[in-house]
């Protein structure tokens, strides 16, 4: 009795049968990948092992990740920072940034992780948000465009950066977006925020606990704090040898560990809800390919252009989920509320 299922080849050649089965595996793998890019990641996460396991190979579905609740689309990721075409004078640069966003991928990944965390929260339709140390404010522009009822503030000490951001917001008619030049280590009490986020800023500040304590005083008692921080560089995993000793000169400390940031947030009056990781092997590969030969600017730009499609895809894969291992920390915290017992009379 022939026990083969309907549709399988009915020839005696084992090689033909093997090729037929392998083609089915390849087809299912391609279909899964396309579905994954279209938002089917969570739905197919439990069945990928069966569809991708080809005999003799480790399943591709077992990376150390935690599933994200909300992800931005690949086009949202591609166009993070796209608004900056407004300030470029060079016509080719204006066209490139307008069509594809900035050439760099590093800021995209950091901002996309923070946006994803914010999208997982149950937030009201109207609220006030601050980006502390906003820089080029990729996340601010994205949030302002997608949540027009939110009041979004970007604060930075760099007057030139703030001037550029203000020009972009004005040119694009973003009336819910405000930029202010100011020292985030000494913010006033004139505004109370429902959510504060900060992306790779604290490692540049000597008095990080004092800064966090200051933010605690201007955040709503039931508000949120979202941080993106680099992992201590001695613990980071690099791919290319040129990056093995990569450090950022203006960091005032050896970045952070999970235990250290938990302790500092506790001292500042916050309770940590979750810590996950970004810049997994996907994000790290994207960063390194995007910055090869950084000491030779023209060669770096040429290689960044050549690898741009692959780098964007890798960066997007990294930003879709929170990883259990990686080169950056993504922290979600809330103010610690102390309830004093009622002692009566």
pLDDT along the chain (345 residues), means of 10: 44 52 56 51 38 31 40 92 95 96 96 95 93 96 96 96 97 96 85 95 93 94 96 92 80 92 96 96 96 87 95 96 93 83 54
Q: Model pTM greater than 0.75?
A: yes
pLDDT the model gives residue 38: 47
Q: Is the dihedral of CA 62, 66, 68, 72 positive or negative?
A: negative
Write out the DSSP string of 63-78.
-SEE--S----HHHHH
- The per-residue pLDDT for 166 is 97
pLDDT of residue 6: 44
Give one DSSP letter per residue of 5-30, joined into a string.
Answer: PTTS--SS-HHHHHHHHHHHHHHHHH
Angle between helices 297-319 and 281-290 (to 10 degrees): 160
């Amino acid at each position: 009795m022939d026990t083969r299922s309907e549709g399988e080849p009915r020839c005696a050649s084992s090689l033909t049968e093997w090729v037929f089965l392998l083609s089915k595996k390849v087809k299912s793998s391609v279909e899964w990948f396309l579905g994954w890019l279209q938002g089917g990641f969570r739905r197919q996460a439990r069945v990928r092992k069966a569809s991708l396991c080809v005999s003799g190979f480790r399943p591709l579905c077992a990376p150390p990740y935690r599933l994200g609740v909300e992800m931005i689309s690949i086009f949202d990721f591609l166009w993070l920072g796209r608004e900056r075409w407004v300030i470029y004078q060079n016509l080719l640069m204006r066209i490139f940034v307008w069509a594809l966003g900035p050439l760099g991928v590093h800021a995209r990944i950091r901002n996309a992780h923070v946006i994803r965390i914010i999208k997982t929260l149950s937030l009201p339709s109207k609220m006030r948000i601050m980006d502390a140390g906003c820089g080029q404010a990729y996340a601010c522009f994205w949030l302002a465009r997608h949540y027009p009822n939110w009041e979004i503030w970007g604060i930075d000490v760099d007057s030139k950066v703030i001037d550029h951001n203000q020009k972009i917001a004005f040119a694009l008619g973003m009336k819910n977006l405000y930029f202010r030049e100011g020292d985030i280590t000494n913010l006033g009490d004139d505004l109370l925020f429902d959510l504060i986020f900060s992306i790779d800023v604290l490692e540049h500040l000597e008095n990080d606990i004092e800064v966090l304590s200051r933010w605690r005083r201007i955040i709503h008692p039931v508000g949120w704090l979202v941080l993106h921080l680099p992992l201590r560089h001695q613990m980071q995993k690099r791919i290319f040898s040129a990056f093995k000793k990569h450090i950022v000169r203006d960091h005032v400390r050896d970045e952070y560990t999970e235990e250290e940031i938990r302790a500092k947030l506790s001292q500042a009056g916050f309770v940590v809800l979750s810590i996950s990781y970004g810049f997994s092997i996907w994000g790290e590969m994207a960063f390194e390919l995007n910055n090869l030969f950084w000491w030779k600017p023209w060669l770096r730009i040429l290689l960044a252009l050549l690898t741009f499609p692959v780098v964007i895809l890798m960066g997007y894969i990294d930003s879709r989920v929170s990883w259990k291992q990686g080169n950056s920390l993504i922290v979600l915290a809330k103010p610690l509320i102390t309830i004093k017992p009622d002692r009566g009379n």
